[in-house]
Amino acid sequence: MNPVVGELIYYLESNLSLFLTSWKDKAVMSETDIHKEKLVLNGLTMFELIKNSMINPIDEEALKSFAYKLAKERVEANINIGEFIYNVNLGRTEILKYIYRSKLDHDQLDPIFEEVNRIFDLFSYYAVSKYTEIKENQLQEKIQYIDQSHQERLTILGQMASTFVHEFRNPLTAVIGFVKLIGNDNPNIKYLDIISHELNQLNYKISQFLHVSKKELIEKSENEVSLLDLFTEITEFIYASILDGDVKVHTNIGSNIYITVNEDEIRQVLLNILMNSIDALKQRETDRNIIIKGYNLDNQIIVSISNNGPAIPKESLDTIFEPFYTTKEFGTGIGLFVCKKIIEKHGGSISCSSDSNLTEFKIVLPYSNAS
């Protein structure tokens, strides 16, 4: 052993109790820390690792193992990582101080100073990395638990909604049927068309609840339809709402754009987005516009529905397609969720972008050979 190293080790061992006491007195340790009794023992272990490194190269696996052990203890104690690093660096300062006080030749102490700093840096790296890893794993476990709980609540809510709407739909179907019979027998009765329209709207809302309450949408046959004809039919159906909202609808869809879809389900999606757009435009004083586009791009059908209503906040854009999220006073928050499910079932995607000039819902659907 190098005589200088031997003399230094003797000096450090002679002052070990002073070193540990000084470090303990300055260390930050919460009274609620479940591992606070291990403070001195951990300091002694680190001291031994440093002392042994002056004789033989540091055992990095042993250092890593010790760092991992302390990281787990700090996680269990639920303390801030800053407190832990402060105590580690305090230990570094105390050891370097006692090495300096040995009054040995500084030129011979320089490599020892460097090695001690390297060991503490390595120890901090291992400890913080492990601490972060454990914390991230805990966070992921919590997120998974929250997601699972959320799904369970949605399942229960879906079952309740399904039972309710089935009970509600039976008499509604009868009312719709009798209104139609009355209209056939007495075509001159006023307001029957309005009553029929409102009943159909109510039936449409009930269908949304039924979609949410089921794990998968009901499989129905698909057929090829003209996108222009589909929008023409829908805008005629909601003409009263367009007129009442003083909205101008601008349509730019090629007559050769076709989509192979379940027509009823896609009609539901487009109707929902258009009605939402009309509602949003009510916040404008004048110049209310809805722009509908349909075109073929890179062998995909793009359907764009835009309005010049107020911008949707960024935080709302991130959750706008989540179930039961709504900004409407009497909204259900299921319309766009159902739209997303339907579009994804058709192998497509739906997104929303919004700024102060325009809010756009963009639907991408697979290419149809007829287009």
* Structure-model confidence comparison of residues 14 and 150, the more confident one: 14
Same domain, 263 and 316: yes
pLDDT tens-digit map of 81-127: 888 888 888 989 988 888 888 878 778 888 888 989 999 999 999 99
Indicate yes or no: pTM above 0.95.
no
371 lies in some domain:
no
Q: What confidence score (pLDDT) does residue 148 get?
A: 72
Q: What confidence score (pLDDT) does residue 171 get?
A: 82
Q: Comparing 161-175, 204-218, 312-326, 348-362, which segment has the lowest mean pLDDT?
A: 204-218
Same domain, 14 and 58: yes
Long-range contacts of 17-23 (CB under 8 A, 24+ apart): 18/98, 19/47, 19/94, 19/95, 19/98, 20/44, 20/47, 22/94, 23/90, 23/91, 23/94
Same domain, 18 and 42: yes
354 to 217, 359, 366: CA distances (angstroms): 29, 4, 24
Q: How confident is the model at residue 330 (pLDDT cuts 50, 70, 90)?
A: very low
Same domain, 300 and 362: yes
CATH number for position 182:
1.10.287.130
Q: Comparing 14-23, 25-34, 164-173, 287-296, which segment has the lowest mean pLDDT?
A: 164-173
CATH number for position 33:
1.10.490.70
The number of folded domains in the chain is: 3
218 lies in some domain:
no
pLDDT tens-digit map of 238-267: 888 888 889 999 999 988 899 988 888 898
Same domain, 129 and 168: no
Q: What confidence score (pLDDT) does residue 215 get?
A: 43
60 lies in some domain:
yes
Same domain, 274 and 322: yes
327: helix, coil or strand?
coil
Q: Mean pLDDT throughout 295-305?
A: 91
List, in sequence order, every beta strand (DSSP E) within the chain. Answer: 223-226, 247-253, 258-261, 288-297, 300-307, 349-354, 359-366
Range of the domain at 275: 223-366
Place of tokens 């002679």: 14
Same domain, 134 and 39: yes
Closest by Cα among 234, 252, 255, 250 to 291 = 250
Q: With pLDDT > 70 as the criterion, what percentage of the chain qualifies?
A: 85
**Number of Cβ within a 10 Å radius of residue 91:** 22
Same domain, 102 and 182: no
Same domain, 193 and 281: no
97/89 Cα distance (integer angstroms): 12
CATH number for position 250:
3.30.565.10
**Number of Cβ within a 10 Å radius of residue 271:** 19
pLDDT score of 157 more than 70: no
Same domain, 168 and 101: no
Closest by Cα among 285, 294, 296, 289 to 250 = 289
321/325 Cα distance (integer angstroms): 8
Same domain, 229 and 198: no
pLDDT score of 351 more than 50: yes
Q: Are 172 and 204 in contact (CB under 8 A)?
A: no
Domain boundary among 99, 124, 144: 144
Place of tokens 């509602």: 279
List all residues 6 or more positions away from 340 whose beta carbon is below 8 Å from its beta carbon: 321, 350
Same domain, 139 and 162: no
